[in-house]
């Protein structure tokens, strides 16, 4: 992974690895089958979800996302109202329109198997898909992995030599030490270094437009989350963002009496995003859906509360924030993991907190050492966070956890800015520690809903 656009993706809730990933995999599978001519011969299709995908697939809507993907939908532009109608048709008639061009047999109850007790070696989020002809002869079988944040790889990708070729970047970095060294040597901020790297994949204009679009969707999500009332699906938990939003506005907007009221705003923006995510709405993975509230919340904090220092909605500030956050996210993605099923919630909420803290430190004028320190502080105090969503739903503890982590990100940035950048624990050490802690964590605490809150507070 080399581009921030592999971390910030527009998709749908509630989960990047369990909803966005399976939809992308299913769509990829049928497209590949179409290109190889197998889809045209297909009469029956089956899908098996393994490990964490199997264990929490119903709560995360992995099953429905898979069906939509088989019909050719992609998370970026799926029309959820239309999709629900088509889903109903598939379940009722036990037939599915692959890519909307080939109608084949598919019994939603029997042909989509959730196998939560079997884990494949490469990653806990695995999925195999099978196509059969009219004689029930296997035409094609493929296995894919949803490796976090909506990113997917196939078994073929893993073994392919093409994928092992390195992209030639102007400022290639493997770890935080190298990133810092290249920034120092070339007198660059993390964001400006990252922009030069991004220009290998697309023009500067496209990078800027793409990141502003990401920010637009984040803002839209916050707005809708603040406006919407009602309950979250299945658990019936009441949405909180709207109530807090109204309460804060009654107090004359941003003219605060209690200085800590800023925390209420930070909480609000994160809650708004994660409530939207829980309801399967449009979301930006940042770097995952479960942790999608932290970066937008901290960006809203930057815009609203640092307005005397920075012009509100300053495009450069927004773009640089996302570039710096992205650079930090890539360090985690490339050296550890951003998947709750792989390393627990420290890899989702912890990583988002670290990305936001580092980016905020840069936005507030921090040196590269302070940026690294902020990102490190945020992760150091997220180490060990388990993933135990009640009912396999990205609601409890996820929504509130995003709010708490957003405040922690701001605190981490401010702490780093009050120092001179020198610190004892390096960002590389904390990334390594997070990964090792995640690997040592028992599987019941890694998005299987078999431990922690998920078993002590049983979903209704």
Instruction: Enter the tokens of residue 29.
Output: 């599978």
CA 353 to CA 348: how far, in whole Å?
A: 9
- C-beta of 53: minimal distance to ligand SF4 in Å? 13
Residue 232 touching ligand SF4 (CB under 6 A): no
Distance of CA 27 to the CA centre of its chain: 19
CA 20 to CA 8: how far, in whole Å?
A: 13
By the 8 A CB rule, do 284 and 221 touch?
Answer: yes
Q: Which of 25, 284, 363, 394 binds ligand SF4 (CB under 6 A)?
A: 394
- C-beta of 384: minimal distance to ligand SF4 in Å? 12
Contact string 396-415 vs ligand SF4 (x = CB under 6 A): -xx-----------------
Work out the number of other CB atoms within 10 angstroms of the CB of residue 414.
16
The residue (of 48 and 348) whose beta carbon lies closer to ligand SF4 is 348
The residue (of 302 and 349) whose beta carbon lies closer to ligand SF4 is 349
Residue 389 touching ligand SF4 (CB under 6 A): yes
By the 8 A CB rule, do 373 and 416 touch?
Answer: yes
Q: Which of 244, 345, 360, 371 binds ligand SF4 (CB under 6 A)?
A: 345
- C-beta of 75: minimal distance to ligand SF4 in Å? 17
**3 state DSSP class of 174:** coil
CA 397 to CA 453: how far, in whole Å?
A: 8
Checking DSSP bridges between strand 151-154 and strand 9-12, what pairing results, if any?
unpaired
Work out the number of other CB atoms within 10 angstroms of the CB of residue 28.
17
CA 132 to CA 142: how far, in whole Å?
A: 12
The residue (of 325 and 387) whose beta carbon lies closer to ligand SF4 is 387
DSSP 8-state class, residue 16? I
- C-beta of 389: minimal distance to ligand SF4 in Å? 4
The residue (of 33 and 393) whose beta carbon lies closer to ligand SF4 is 393
By the 8 A CB rule, do 233 and 394 touch?
Answer: no
With contacts defined by CB under 6 A, name the span among 47-55, 187-195, 345-353, 370-378 that binds ligand SF4. Answer: 345-353
DSSP for 126-142 reads: EEEEEEE-TT--EEEEE
Instruction: Enter the tokens of residue 84.
Output: 């629900």
Residue 275 touching ligand SF4 (CB under 6 A): no
Q: Which of 42, 217, 349, 379 binds ligand SF4 (CB under 6 A)?
A: 349
With contacts defined by CB under 6 A, name the span among 29-37, 69-77, 199-207, 342-350 that binds ligand SF4. Answer: 342-350
With contacts defined by CB under 6 A, name the span among 71-79, 92-100, 226-234, 393-401 that binds ligand SF4. Answer: 393-401
The residue (of 345 and 371) whose beta carbon lies closer to ligand SF4 is 345
Work out the number of other CB atoms within 10 angstroms of the CB of residue 403.
26
The residue (of 408 and 423) whose beta carbon lies closer to ligand SF4 is 408
The residue (of 183 and 338) whose beta carbon lies closer to ligand SF4 is 338
Residue 342 touching ligand SF4 (CB under 6 A): no
DSSP 8-state class, residue 166? P
Contact string 419-458 vs ligand SF4 (x = CB under 6 A): ----------------------------x-----------
Work out the number of other CB atoms within 10 angstroms of the CB of residue 217.
19
Residue 286 touching ligand SF4 (CB under 6 A): no
Residue 266 touching ligand SF4 (CB under 6 A): no
What is the torsion angle, in degrees rounded to the nearest 10, for the CA atoms of residue 319, residue 12, residue 275 and residue 381?
-60
Q: Which residue has the tokens 């300053």?
A: 314
| # of chain residues touching ligand SF4 (CB under 6 A) | 12
Residues 6+ apart with CB under 8 A from 392: 55, 56, 57, 58, 59, 60, 449, 454, 459
Q: Which of 22, 75, 210, 290 binds ligand SF4 (CB under 6 A)?
A: 290
Residue 395 sits at the vertex; the CA angle it makes with 392 and 397, to the nearest 5 degrees, is: 95
- C-beta of 379: minimal distance to ligand SF4 in Å? 14
Residue 248 touching ligand SF4 (CB under 6 A): no
Q: Which of residues 297-326 bind ligand SF4 (CB under 6 A)?
A: none
By the 8 A CB rule, do 35 and 43 touch?
Answer: no
State the number of CA atoms in the 13 A half-sphere of 252 facing the CB: 4
Q: Which of 387, 427, 431, 454 binds ligand SF4 (CB under 6 A)?
A: 387
- C-beta of 73: minimal distance to ligand SF4 in Å? 23
Q: Site residues (CB under 6 A) for ligand SF4?
A: 290-291, 340, 345, 348-349, 387, 389, 394, 397-398, 447
């Amino acid at each position: 992974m080399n581009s921030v656009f592999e971390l910030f993706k527009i998709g749908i809730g509630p989960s990047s690895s369990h909803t966005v990933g399976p939809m992308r995999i299913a769509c990829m599978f049928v497209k590949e089958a179409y290109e190889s001519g197998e889809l045209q011969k297909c009469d029956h299709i089956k899908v098996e979800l393994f490990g964490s995908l199997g264990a929490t697939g119903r709560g995360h809507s992995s099953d429905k996302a898979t069906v939509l993907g088989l019909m050719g939908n992609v998370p970026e532009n799926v029309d959820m109202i239309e999709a629900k109608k088509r889903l109903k048709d598939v379940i009722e008639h036990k037939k599915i329109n692959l890519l909307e061009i080939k109608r084949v047999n598919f019994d939603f109850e029997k042909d989509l198997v959730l196998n939560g007790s079997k884990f494949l070696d490469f990653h806990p989020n695995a999925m195999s898909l099978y196509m059969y002809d009219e004689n029930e002869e296997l035409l094609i079988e493929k296995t894919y992995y949803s490796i976090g944040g909506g990113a997917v790889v196939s078994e073929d990708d893993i073994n392919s030599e093409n994928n092992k070729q390195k992209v030639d970047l102007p400022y290639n970095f493997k770890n935080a030490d190298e990133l810092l060294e290249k920034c120092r040597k070339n007198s660059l901020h993390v964001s400006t270094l990252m922009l030069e790297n991004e220009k290998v994949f697309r023009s500067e204009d496209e990078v800027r437009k793409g990141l502003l679009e990401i920010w637009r969707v984040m803002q839209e999500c916050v707005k809708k989350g603040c406006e919407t009332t009602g309950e979250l699906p299945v658990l019936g938990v009441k949405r909180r963002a709207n109530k807090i939003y109204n309460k804060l506005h009654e107090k004359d907007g941003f003219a605060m009496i209690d200085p800590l009221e800023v925390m209420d705003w930070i909480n609000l923006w994160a809650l708004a995003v994660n409530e939207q995510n829980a309801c399967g709405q449009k979301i930006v993975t940042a770097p995952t859906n479960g942790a999608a509230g932290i970066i937008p919340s901290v960006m809203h904090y930057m815009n609203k509360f640092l307005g005397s220092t920075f012009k509100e909605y300053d495009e450069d500030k927004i773009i640089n924030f996302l570039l710096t956050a992205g650079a930090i996210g890539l360090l985690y993605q490339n050296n550890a993991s951003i998947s709750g099923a792989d390393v627990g919630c420290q890899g989702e909420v912890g990583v988002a907190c670290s990305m936001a803290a580092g980016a905020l430190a840069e936005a507030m004028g921090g040196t590269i050492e302070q940026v690294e320190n902020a990102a490190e502080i945020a992760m150091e105090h997220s180490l060990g966070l388990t993933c135990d969503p009640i009912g396999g739903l990205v609601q409890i503890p996820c929504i509130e956890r995003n709010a708490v982590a957003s405040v922690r990100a701001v605190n981490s940035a401010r702490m780093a800015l009050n120092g001179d950048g020198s610190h004892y624990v390096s960002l590389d050490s904390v990334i390594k520690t997070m990964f090792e802690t995640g690997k040592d964590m028992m599987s019941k605490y890694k998005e299987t809903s078999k431990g922690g809150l998920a078993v002590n507070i049983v979903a209704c």
